[in-house]
Amino acid sequence: MNRQELIAQIQQKKSFLCIGLDIDLAKIPTHLLAEEDPIFEFNKQIIDATHHLAVSYKPNTAFYEAYGIKGWQALEKTIDYINTNYPELFTIADAKRGDIGNTSTMYAKAFLEDLNFDSVTVAPYMGSDSVEPFLAFENKNTILLALTSNKGGVDFQGLKTENEELYKKVLKTALTWKNSENLMFVVGATKAEYFEDIRKIVPNHFLLVPGVGAQGGNLHDVCKYGLTKDCGLLINSSRGIIYAGTNENFAQEAQKEALKLQQEMATILDSSW
């Protein structure tokens, strides 16, 4: 999927919602556990109930790897289901990978080619040749960790390097890499005040923003500084949506929560466009 298709979808749905499919068998409704593949069945019903309200879905690979081969099969079935039934959706493999060149190429192939995700999240610590193999894929996006929303995020990302914080150096350096137009960046919502500075460095790139809701971030604060003329934001919510309900009605409960966020987003987009 290219950038224009993503923007067109945001305009049409008046939403920049990304739904995180972070599956935990201990949290999904118990009646699904009798299904042959409870994880896929859960995802399928969540996606069917919310696909018109969200523009993006983001399975975090950790939650699938934790279930071994069955988890990996559920991940494959989930991405295939989205690509077959809702090809307009922007899919993100939240994998936070990154390795030396030839190894990163294997990861890129796994997520962008074989599983056919539109994008994958990547950690920057190993530098240019660990990220460029992902950037080489046409019409695919690489979402680089810049400023994360967790407590430990400040440990290194906040360190001053040559008079500016490491995460700013990551943003600036990444822009010099080959095919950097295929980059997006992860920027945590719990640090809304940083978005102003970040937009000075990356005025047009899309930012994937986790941390709204469960992690305490505020949608309006993020939009105040982060929104661009093309929207330029994907706001992720995982637990707040997918675990809103705990019984047979879980998909409708998820839909209600997604609708609330979509309506807030529509209001924000209407007043900015």
Indicate whether 248 belongs to the interface with a copy of itself (CB under 8 A): no
Query: Can you tell me the distance from the alpha carbon of 145 to that of 184, in angstroms, rounded to the nearest whole number?
Result: 9
Residues whose CB falls within 8 Å of the CB of residue 163, separated by 6 or more in sequence, listed in order: none
The residue range among 25-33, 39-47, 166-174, 216-224 that interacts with a copy of itself, by the rule CB under 8 A, is 166-174
Query: Can you tell me the distance from the alpha carbon of 53 to that of 72, in angstroms, rounded to the nearest whole number?
Result: 26
The residue range among 7-15, 32-40, 44-52, 93-101 that interacts with a copy of itself, by the rule CB under 8 A, is 93-101
Binding mask 171-190 for a copy of itself (x = CB under 8 A): --x-----------------
Query: Can you tell me the distance from the alpha carbon of 61 to that of 123, in angstroms, rounded to the nearest whole number?
Result: 14
Residues whose CB falls within 8 Å of the CB of residue 65, separated by 6 or more in sequence, listed in order: 71, 72
Indicate whether 22 belongs to the interface with a copy of itself (CB under 8 A): yes
Question: Of all helices (H) and strands (E), which one includes residue 220?
Answer: helix 219-226
Indicate whether 103 belongs to the interface with a copy of itself (CB under 8 A): yes
Does 14 qualify as catalytic in the annotation?
Answer: no
What dihedral do alpha carbons 182, 186, 191, 193 form, nearest 10°? 0
Indicate whether 153 belongs to the interface with a copy of itself (CB under 8 A): yes
Indicate whether 240 belongs to the interface with a copy of itself (CB under 8 A): no
Q: Which is nearer to a copy of itself, 72 or 81 (CB)?
A: 72
Tracing tokens 């706001």 back to the chain, one arrives at 235
Alpha carbon 263 to its chain's center: 20
The residue range among 8-16, 56-64, 81-89, 243-251 that interacts with a copy of itself, by the rule CB under 8 A, is 56-64
3 state SS of 204? coil
Q: Which residues bind a copy of itself (CB under 8 A)?
A: 22, 60, 62-63, 65-66, 68-69, 72-73, 76, 96-101, 103-104, 106-107, 109-110, 114-115, 123-131, 145, 148-157, 159-162, 166, 169-170, 173
Residues labelled as active-site residues: 96
